[in-house]
Amino acid sequence: MLPEPNELLATARVVALPLVTRFRGIDVREAVLLEGPAGWTEFSPFVEYDDHEASAWLAAAIDYGWNATPAAMRDRIPVNATVPAVDPDSVRAVLARFPGCRTAKVKVAGGDEPLSADVARVRAVREALGAEGRIRIDANGGWNVDEAEHAIHALAPFDLEYVEQPCATVDELAEIRRRTKYMGIPIAADESVRRADDPLAVAAAGAADLLVIKAAPLGGIRRALDIVAQAGLPVVVSSALDTSVGLAMGAALAASVPSLEFDCGLGTASLLAADVTRAPLLPEDGSIPVRRVLPDPALLDRYAASPERTEWWLERLGRAYAVLAEAAARTSAG
């Protein structure tokens, strides 16, 4: 059952949080926070996503704010550091924001940067972490198959834990996995799960060794758990540069996954220069706690988005709600 639109709007607060380092091409992360019967929740699809895609994020927000979370199997979640597309000299400062983390996810394949810049960044991470640290790279689908093969060869000497979304399509992932299988470097799928019409297609095609799962774009914790169960592959639970409220949703998902083999991408509050709570979900000793987050009214006021951006987000929320309501009506009629 969907709450009434007025129930959502009654508590909606739109915030604009500055980032420490430019990430995904933005310097400020905007989000809508909502308070439901179960607690605070977050609606923050990236601005380029259409209303249909944004509706899954709203479904997740409603699920987390209006329903109890599944039973937790753990009370802390080990997390990785996230290294944006920074120059090598900035790597140690980034890693310092993730105390105790022994795994780093490094962004590669960014825009106009040459492969040599990716190599230099990953080398700097390896030097900072030492031989015992784990390094995973994330290309966000930025390479074609030939580029991905060349890049994986160039980066393999740094002992990669896995390569996340090296190519954009499921067919390309299957091909690069076939070409590089002899190297023993697993291929992980992210966008091919969370942005796909069929999030199970990548597993069915044998195109990945593990899946990156995010609660918000998959429609919520329960929907994500269903995908995990059907896919039958190891998973990494990650975030989408959320506030600590959204990260709490991700932590609740990670806490309820039956098997958690990998450190999770839920330490990204460290990339924010500000948050909505006095007790943010920042990594401590390489992990974050599993708990709900209560926003601080003063911080909601301090980082309130402009009236124009607030109106934009609330209108977007309304459109996403309309998509969910239409889908619910079709289901009821069927």
> Is 105 among the residues known to form the active site?
no
30 annotated ligand binder:
no
CA 263 to CA 80: how far, in whole Å? Answer: 6
Q: 187 in helix, strand or coil?
A: strand
List CB contacts of 29: < 8 A, sequence separation 6 or more: 16, 17, 19, 44, 241, 243, 272
DSSP string, 260-287: --S-BB--GGGGBS--SSSS----BTTE
Taking CA atoms, 106 is separated from 28, 101, 161, 193, in Å, by 20, 13, 11, 20
CA 190 to CA 196: how far, in whole Å? Answer: 10
Beta bridge partners of 164: 138, 188
> Is 107 among the residues known to form the active site?
yes
CA 132 to CA 149: how far, in whole Å? Answer: 25
Q: Is 300 left (phi over 0), alpha (psi -120 to 50) or beta?
A: alpha
Are β-strands 26-36 and 39-43 bridged in parallel, bridged antiparallel, or unpaired?
antiparallel
Q: Angle 51-66/244-256 helices, nearest 10 degrees?
A: 70
Catalytic residue (choose from 29, 214, 222, 223): 214
75 annotated ligand binder:
no
Residue at 229: amino acid letter: A
190 annotated ligand binder:
yes
The token duo for 258 is 């039956």
Catalytic residue (choose from 29, 97, 107, 316): 107
CA 156 to CA 118: how far, in whole Å? Answer: 12
Annotated binding site for Mg(2+): 138, 164, 190
Annotated binding site: 138, 164, 190
**Residues annotated as part of the active site:** 107, 214
